[in-house]
Structure 1
């Protein structure tokens, strides 16, 4: 578990997608640093569970904010719920996994994915970026996906949206640096969360063992604390990214995703 500087990144952190997986682990590790957590997601019972766990184990306050980041205007709800909080850290972790053939997607799903996996990050950055710049310190971490900019078969649209997240974060890293605001793009590879099941993948049989969410978050917070522009968590993931050509990675993904339920049972 990684500890971060409460003076720079506290006293409050806002975490989207906080109800499970990587977002939940961000909440726990940030709370372990003594920073209060405002938890954002659609699933209210799970958010309360995470919040109570953080308060019980680490003695911090928590606030639950139920919001669907795929819905236009969501930022107004989050802005109002955090208006009086001194927010020093934002973890923009919104996103979803919607695997399947691109031609099976309808226009509504394409639009929803762009709102959730791209535009939501921009809205969070615009609102909280202003507040962080005004206070002269703090941090923004954006969670994307490793290699998204190289194309992801059967995740074509989702990958393209995640590529936007990395580009946005890299640009804001430079724009916000003069104002004392740290920005890092965290690009995880396969991570042992419930999302893997949607791809028909079993962590026990995958050729490269997926990372634990706790390790992804620990490395991500360390990178943010050092104001690194980007991070691929996991040494093996970094090595694979450096030495394996993108064309080979795409071919591997084609074979690996062959057993996805969405491919075996495409929409009628």
Structure 2
């Protein structure tokens, strides 16, 4: 896969994890396409990175919860000059499922599920046709811990993990590399925007965005399908995967499991 200097499209690129990815890929010599709502921040970031690295940087203002703006980014990907897509844009909820209404729930689904799914599909079609390309989906460790917090945010991130693993299994032979990155709590503006105090977490709980991205890029260079920067022993995740795979032959059968027949008979 010759994606060493391919143009990188990053969503949610104005701040936080997305801005750090922009910095790191620019310093690797990649041209960038930055996508976010905040044009002012993206322009400032682009000006700094152009001055430091000399790479070409395109800026696209877009609210990915809007179908028209999302379609605009799909069209941009279809041009065929993008080699790496980073699906980073996302949001959390202020409060639980009991404290949010249809508007808030629809918005988080649009941004955290619909947008990255459609963009991953648009990119994958181009990459598979070329025989090379990479999709990085920023999920979350909460995809593995649905009991924590509200379940809606973690559910959207579980979707991204599921999508990434399916793409890795089905598209790797077509030259498409897919990486799911699962951050733990990371110091970004998502906390303030969702009404949470990031400083209320215990000491040693929150990772800096720079450290998160640098670790994720080590996983990217190693072509890991799943990268979990805070997890000391990846064997724990591998064991979970093996246990899940072991259930596979028993997940669909014509007969009801004996344990349910016994309960009915009783």
Unaligned runs of 5+ in 1: 244-268
| Distance in 1 (alpha carbons) for counterparts of 2:189 and 2:128 | 36
TM-score for the superposition, normalised by structure 2: 0.81
Where 1:60 maps in the other structure, the secondary structure is: coil
Match of 2:88 in 1: 93
Match of 1:33 in 2: 28
Alpha carbons 1:100, 1:155 under 8 Å: kept: yes
Alpha carbons 2:9, 2:33 under 8 Å: kept: yes
Q: CA deviation at 1:84?
A: 4.5
TM-score for the superposition, normalised by structure 1: 0.81
Match status 1:211 vs 2:210: no
Paired residue for 2:187, among 192, 207, 213? 192
Moved more, 226-235 or 113-122: 226-235
Max Rg structure: 2
Match status 1:201 vs 2:215: no
Match status 1:135 vs 2:130: yes
Matches within 5 A, 1:63-102: 63-81=58-76, 84=79, 86-102=81-97
Moved more, 97-106 or 178-187: 97-106
| Distance in 2 (alpha carbons) for counterparts of 1:27 and 1:152 | 33
Match status 1:125 vs 2:85: no
Alpha carbons 1:149, 1:160 under 8 Å: kept: no
Q: CA deviation at 1:194?
A: 2.5
How many residues in Structure 1 have an aligned counterpart in Structure 2? 237
Q: CA deviation at 1:151?
A: 1.3
Alpha carbons 1:185, 1:229 under 8 Å: kept: yes
Matches within 5 A, 1:1-268: 7-81=2-76, 84=79, 86-197=81-192, 198-202=195-199, 206-236=202-232
Unaligned runs of 5+ in 2: 240-266
Alpha carbons 2:77, 2:123 under 8 Å: kept: no
Match of 1:252 in 2: none
Deviations 1:112-145 (A, max 9, x none): 1111001111111111111111111121100011
| Distance in 1 (alpha carbons) for counterparts of 2:82 and 2:64 | 19
| Distance in 1 (alpha carbons) for counterparts of 2:68 and 2:211 | 33
Alpha carbons 1:9, 1:89 under 8 Å: kept: no
Alpha carbons 2:73, 2:119 under 8 Å: kept: no
Match of 1:261 in 2: none
Moved more, 214-223 or 21-30: 214-223
Where 2:65 maps in the other structure, the secondary structure is: coil
